[in-house]
């Protein structure tokens, strides 16, 4: 039985790395007594796969993992037991039974949206500069050294929240080729808000990034792995 | 605490998870609802401190009390420290992010000498006055415990209270005394006087030390009627009835020992003469297999850990080891819990055993002959023979192992060139054992790792009177070994002698080193146990500034009746026994395991029927 689990990573645990998260989930599954399947081989590991690594320091209300169970289990029970066994700050929101042969989450997911909050910031200026630029070149560090990427190719939409000028909404590529980390986009936007003078330091303010969802394309819509349509 | 500011700097440092807390099984309490706030401080980074069994025990033990909230604090790594100083953020605890200065008690554990500058740095970062005599009114009391507390003299200027021995009972008594005192409106000193009445509590400030012209100690004597002239350590008598946590914090990040630790017993009966742990943790006291199995069951359930390690000073000496291992295997095999057995001694490592362990997970094989020849092994009373080694590695190779680690020390008392040559000979012998095993049976890719550390004479051991080798001697010996160990399949590791030299100074140091410590810290010494941070110049300058000769501590031979800086501390093992052992060492006489026959070390004074 294959199950996709939707979970959060909240403020109080936002500094854990992807590896930390994987370990935490594995141990929570063990504590919860969930009958997870193990891989074959000399060093068997639990059958668990993650949709996308969340950068350290970023919170999220829409993370996903795929687990394979050795025996069937009711999803509400799974959710309840796992929530009981998880550290505070990671909460299971839902679970969905999927076809064993369905593609992996990692290969499926193409987009993410983020809510970026910068206290005391007015994003107006950055956004105007963004719209007026044909391309915005940023450096991207990869395994094979640093490459340059046009930021506008990896961002679909960027907009200011209708109620709070400090808040920005980003909808962008995730995981695949040419995708950028949200921090890279935020840094570039913060720089744009400084204008071209180049003299000013980045503002001394705290910026928080929150992932609101991960999506894949289904019948022309962007939907989450639990099949909720992006609003 | 400005949480926004803290959040901002945590976004800029490496491994911010070190400072985050909120792990599974972290204890949460409302600080407003307790009468005592206790900060358990480990003077090293999170992943080292969280691996420490004593901390796990005391953290959960103290938090069993509804009147006390015990929180944790570790040494921030240098990047975090820099940011904290820049942003004026005081050192805080992980649980509630409360500045350390707001606590009633700050308890440091002393696991190794090279963490001492971190203690000063942490106090400074917390805004707590470094010197005990400068602390007043609202300042916390600074307590130290752990193995190095048996000679905490170099830290005497900085600490209020030293807790000697095992903390399970003492800590509770100290907290009771604190609670009474806190309500009494009495002076700071009055609490120290109350504390001094608790067995195992040593208040350095209540003792004066005088010196002879040549630098040796003339006397150590109480300066108040409130204390005795000698202070003895505390021990737990019944290991089955004493507290042991059945839930422990499960860190998010990968820590050094990321597993359940089952403590089989305390103490060791082997009597290796270089080993401080073997002397200070006496007598031997075992936990029953039933209790251990019960704890294992609960801990596996409450943590989700996938590995249990059996922990003690000499695990193969546990009297019901076979029974315990088989039971653990049986119960946890289908739960996929691996079992690891560290610090196994050569002579009782049996073939059947190797296979049992292998059933679940193959762990590395390490052996510690410590010295290269039988003569020197007799001197140090490491009752292991070359035949034992040959037998064990042959069994291991036949069972499919292909890697062996061998640990040695250089600079042991009476060591000669022949003993060093013996290290290479043993490595060669192990290689031969491998090739003597059938080609079909043995695993390809033999790898032998030889590690040689620099011997540090420790207080409360039979070698406490002996000089350490100079750094030049160590280097010359390392060069010799590098040459002689240029063998196929053999990898040689060695340590820079500078750190061992400083360890030797502080391990057997006295109160005059307090000034040196302070200067070294001011000169920038911090995280001295981390090679990338170690700064010998800061230390050498500190010795010079204070006109203290480090050689006096590291390289001087003490005579039998010299008053040693730690003589007023009683670990149970007598100085007369240690001297007798030293004389036997010089004659190359071994002393058998004291389970076979009492060797009269003195520990029986601590209680009837203990061993």
Q: What is the CATH number of the domain that holds A218?
A: 3.30.70
Maximum mean pLDDT: which of A198-212, A217-231, B335-349, B389-403: A217-231
Tell me the mean pLDDT in the region B297-320. 93
Q: Is residue A100 located within the same domain as residue A170?
A: no
**Among chain A residues, CA nearest to B338:** A43
User: What pLDDT is attached to residue B364?
Assistant: 67
pTM of the entire structure?
Answer: 0.94
**Residue A229: inside a domain:** no
- Beta strands in chain A, from DSSP E residues, in sequence order: 2-9, 48-50, 59-68, 92-98, 111-118, 137-142, 145-150, 155-160, 167-173, 207-218, 221-223
Residue B356 has pLDDT above 80, yes or no: no
User: What pLDDT is attached to residue A205?
Assistant: 60
Q: Is residue A195 located within the same domain as residue A127?
A: yes
User: What pLDDT is attached to residue A202?
Assistant: 46
Q: Is residue A70 located within the same domain as residue A88?
A: yes
**Residue A215: inside a domain:** yes
Residue A20 has pLDDT above 70, yes or no: yes
Q: Is residue A129 located within the same domain as residue A97?
A: no
CA–CA min distance A93, chain B (Å): 19
Contacts of B303 in chain A (CB under 8 A): 27, 31
**Among chain A residues, CA nearest to B254:** A20
Give the Cα separation of B285 and B425 in Å (integer): 37
Global ipTM = 0.92
User: What pLDDT is attached to residue B46?
Assistant: 98
Q: Is residue A170 located within the same domain as residue A209?
A: yes
User: What pLDDT is attached to residue B269?
Assistant: 93
pLDDT digits (tens, 9 = 90+) for B519-534: 999 999 999 999 999 9
**Among chain B residues, CA nearest to A209:** B11
Q: Is residue A101 located within the same domain as residue A167?
A: no
* CB–CB contact A57 B20 (8 Å): no
**Residue A160: inside a domain:** yes
Give the Cα separation of B316 and A170 in Å (integer): 60
* CB–CB contact B252 A24 (8 Å): yes
- Specify the residue for token string 């005081």: B90
CB–CB contacts below 8 A, A to B: 70
Please tell me which residue, B403 or A29, carries the higher pLDDT value: A29
Q: Are the C-beta atoms of residues B153 and B509 closer than 8 Å to each other?
A: yes
Residue B546 has pLDDT above 90, yes or no: yes
* CB–CB contact A56 B250 (8 Å): no
Percent of chain B with pLDDT over 70: 96
- Chain B residues touching chain A at CB-CB below 8 Å: 4, 7-8, 10-11, 16-17, 19-20, 22-24, 26, 250, 252-254, 301-306, 335-336
Which CATH number applies to B260-495+572-586: 3.20.20.70, 3.10.200.10, 3.30.530.20, 3.80.30.20? 3.80.30.20
pLDDT digits (tens, 9 = 90+) for B33-87: 999 999 999 999 999 999 999 999 999 999 999 999 999 999 999 999 999 999 9
Residue B109 has pLDDT above 60, yes or no: yes
User: What pLDDT is attached to residue A199?
Assistant: 42
User: What pLDDT is attached to residue B52?
Assistant: 97
Give the Cα separation of B248 and B60 in Å (integer): 8
User: What pLDDT is attached to residue B351?
Assistant: 58
Could you give the number of structural domains in chain A? 2
Could you say which of B11, B252, B303 has the minimum Cβ distance to residue A57?
Answer: B11
Residue B600 has pLDDT above 70, yes or no: yes
pLDDT digits (tens, 9 = 90+) for B145-156: 999 999 999 999
Domain range for A30? 2-107
Please tell me which residue, A179 or A68, carries the higher pLDDT value: A68
Q: Are the C-beta atoms of residues B38 and B103 closer than 8 Å to each other?
A: yes
Q: Is the dihedral of CA B200, B202, B207, B209 positive or negative?
A: positive
Give the Cα separation of A168 and A188 in Å (integer): 13
User: What pLDDT is attached to residue A119?
Assistant: 84
**Among chain A residues, CA nearest to B17:** A15
Residue B348 has pLDDT above 80, yes or no: no
Domain boundary among A59, A84, A107: A107
**Residue A86: inside a domain:** yes
A19 in contact with chain B, both atoms CB, cutoff 8 A: yes
What is residue B60's three-state secondary structure?
helix
Task: Indicate the domain borders of chain B.
Answer: 3-232, 260-495+572-586
Q: Is residue A123 located within the same domain as residue A218?
A: yes
Tell me the mean pLDDT in the region B84-112. 97
Task: Give the orientation angle of helix B188-196 with respect to helix B167-184, to 10 degrees.
Answer: 150
Q: Is residue A77 located within the same domain as residue A137?
A: no
Q: Which of A27-41, A67-81, A176-190, B584-598 has the weakest average pLDDT?
A: A176-190
Q: Is residue A68 located within the same domain as residue A136?
A: no
* CB–CB contact B252 A23 (8 Å): yes
Give the Cα separation of B442 and B437 in Å (integer): 6
**Residue A228: inside a domain:** no
Could you say which of A15, A31, A38 has the minimum Cβ distance to residue B304?
Answer: A31
**Residue A47: inside a domain:** yes
* CB–CB contact A12 B20 (8 Å): yes
pLDDT digits (tens, 9 = 90+) for B181-199: 998 999 999 999 999 999 9
Domain boundary among A69, A84, A107: A107
Residue B397 has pLDDT above 70, yes or no: yes
Tell me the mean pLDDT in the region B372-384. 95
pLDDT tier for residue B345 given thresholds of 50, 70 and 90: very low
Tell me the mean pLDDT in the region B366-375. 93
For domain B3-232, the question of CATH label 3.40.50.280 is answered with: yes
* CB–CB contact B17 A17 (8 Å): yes
Contacts of B20 in chain A (CB under 8 A): 12-13, 15-16
**Residue A231: inside a domain:** no
Q: Is residue A205 located within the same domain as residue A145?
A: yes
A92 in contact with chain B, both atoms CB, cutoff 8 A: no
pLDDT tier for residue B360 given thresholds of 50, 70 and 90: very low
Enumerate residues 46 to 75 of chain A having a beta carbon within 8 A of any beta carbon in chain B.
Answer: 56-57
* CB–CB contact B253 A85 (8 Å): no
What is residue A108's three-state secondary structure?
helix
pLDDT digits (tens, 9 = 90+) for B405-434: 999 999 999 999 999 999 999 999 999 999
* CB–CB contact B24 A20 (8 Å): no
Backbone angles phi, psi at A137, to 5 degrees: -90, 125
Please tell me which residue, B597 or B1, carries the higher pLDDT value: B597
Give whole-number Cα distances, B455 to B36, B346, B463, in Å: 42, 20, 10
Give the Cα separation of A129 and A135 in Å (integer): 11
Q: Is residue A120 located within the same domain as residue A201?
A: yes
**Residue A230: inside a domain:** no
Mean pLDDT of chain B, nearest integer: 94
Q: Is the dihedral of CA B406, B407, B411, B414 positive or negative?
A: negative
Contacts of A57 in chain B (CB under 8 A): 10-11, 16
Domain boundary among A107, A129, A148: A107
Contacts of A87 in chain B (CB under 8 A): 22-24, 26, 250, 252
């Amino acid at each position: 039985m294959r199950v996709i689990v939707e979970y959060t990573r909240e403020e109080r645990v936002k500094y854990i790395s992807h590896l930390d998260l994987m370990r935490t989930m594995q141990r929570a599954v063990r504590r919860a007594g969930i009958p997870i399947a193990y891989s074959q081989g000399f060093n068997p590991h639990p059958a668990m796969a993650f949709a996308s690594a969340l950068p350290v320091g970023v919170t999220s209300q829409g993370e996903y993992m795929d687990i394979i169970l050795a025996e069937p289990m009711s999803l509400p029970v799974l959710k309840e037991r796992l929530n009981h066994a998880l550290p505070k700050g990671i909460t299971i929101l839902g679970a969905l039974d999927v076809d064993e042969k369905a593609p992996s989450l990692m290969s499926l997911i193409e987009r993410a949206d983020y809510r970026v909050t910068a206290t005391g910031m007015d994003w107006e200026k950055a956004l105007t500069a963004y719209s007026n630029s044909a391309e915005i070149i940023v450096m991207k560090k990869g395994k094979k050294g640093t490459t340059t990427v046009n930021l506008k190719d990896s961002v679909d939409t960027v907009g200011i929240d209708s109620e709070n000028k400090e808040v920005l909404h980003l909808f962008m590529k995730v995981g695949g080729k040419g995708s950028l980390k949200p921090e890279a986009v935020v840094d570039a936007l913060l720089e744009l808000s400084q204008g071209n003078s180049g003299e000013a330091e980045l503002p001394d303010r705290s910026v928080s990034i929150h992932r609101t969802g991960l999506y894949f394309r289904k019948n022309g819509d962007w939907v989450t792995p639990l099949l909720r349509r992006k609003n | 605490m400005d949480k926004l500011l803290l959040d901002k700097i945590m976004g800029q440092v490496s491994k911010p998870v070190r400072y985050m807390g909120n792990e599974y099984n972290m204890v949460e309490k409302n600080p407003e609802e307790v009468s005592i706030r206790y900060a358990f401080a480990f003077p090293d980074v999170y992943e080292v401190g969280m691996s420490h069994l004593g901390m796990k025990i005391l953290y959960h033990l103290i938090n069993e009390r509804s009147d006390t909230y015990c929180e944790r604090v570790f040494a921030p790594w240098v990047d975090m420290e820099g940011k904290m100083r820049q942003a004026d953020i005081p050192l805080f605890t992980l649980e509630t992010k409360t500045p350390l200065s707001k606590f009633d008690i700050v308890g440091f554990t002393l696991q190794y000498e090279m963490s001492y500058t971190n203690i000063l740095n942490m106090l400074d970062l917390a805004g707590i006055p470094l010197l005990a005599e400068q602390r007043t009114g609202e300042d916390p009391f600074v307590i130290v415990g752990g193995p190095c507390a048996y000679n905490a003299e170099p830290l005497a200027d900085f600490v209020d209270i030293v807790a000697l021995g095992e903390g399970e009972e003492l800590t509770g008594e100290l907290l009771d005394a604190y609670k009474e005192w806190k309500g009494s409106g009495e002076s700071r000193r009055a609490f120290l006087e109350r504390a001094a009445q608790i067995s195992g509590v040593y208040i350095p400030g209540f003792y004066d030390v005088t010196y002879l012209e040549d630098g040796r100690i003339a006397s150590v004597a109480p300066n108040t009627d409130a204390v005795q002239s000698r202070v003895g350590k505390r021990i737990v008598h019944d290991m089955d009835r004493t507290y042991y946590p059945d839930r422990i914090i499960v860190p998010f990040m990968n820590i050094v020992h990321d597993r359940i630790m089952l403590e089989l017993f305390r103490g060791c009966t082997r009597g290796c003469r270089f080993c401080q742990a073997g002397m200070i943790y006496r007598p031997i006291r075992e936990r029953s297999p039933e209790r251990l199995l019960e704890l294992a069951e609960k801990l596996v359930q409450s943590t989700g850990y996938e590995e249990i390690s059996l922990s003690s000073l000499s695990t193969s000496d546990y009297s019901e080891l076979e029974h315990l291992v088989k039971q653990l295997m049986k119960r946890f095999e289908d739960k996929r819990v691996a079992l690891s057995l560290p610090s196994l001694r050569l002579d009782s490592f049996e073939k059947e055993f190797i296979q049992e362990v292998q059933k679940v997970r193959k762990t590395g094989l390490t052996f510690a002959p410590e010295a290269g020849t039988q003569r020197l092994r007799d001197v140090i009373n490491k009752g292991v023979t070359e035949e034992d080694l040959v037998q064990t590695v042959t069994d291991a190779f036949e069972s499919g192992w292909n890697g062996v680690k061998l640990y040695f020390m250089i600079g042991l008392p009476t060591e000669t060139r022949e003993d060093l040559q013996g290290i290479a000979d043993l490595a060669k012998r192990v290689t031969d054992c491998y090739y003597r095993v059938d080609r079909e049976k043995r695993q390809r890719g033999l790898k032998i790792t030889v590690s040689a550390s620099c011997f540090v004479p420790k207080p409360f051991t039979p070698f406490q009177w002996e000089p350490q080798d100079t750094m030049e001697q160590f280097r010359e010996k390392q060069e010799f070994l590098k040459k002689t160990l240029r063998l196929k399949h053999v990898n040689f590791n060695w340590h820079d002698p500078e750190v061992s030299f400083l360890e030797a100074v502080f391990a057997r140091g006295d109160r005059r080193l307090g000034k040196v410590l302070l200067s070294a810290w001011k000169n920038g010494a911090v995280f001295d146990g981390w090679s990338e941070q170690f700064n010998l110049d800061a230390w050498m300058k500190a010795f010079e500034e204070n006109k203290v000769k480090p050689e006096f501590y590291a390289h001087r031979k003490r005579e039998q009746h010299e008053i040693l800086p730690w003589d007023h501390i009683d670990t149970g093992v007598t100085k007369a026994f240690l001297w007798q052992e030293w004389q036997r060492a010089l004659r190359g006489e071994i002393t058998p395991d004291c389970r076979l026959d009492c060797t009269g070390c003195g520990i029986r004074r601590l209680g009837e029927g203990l061993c």
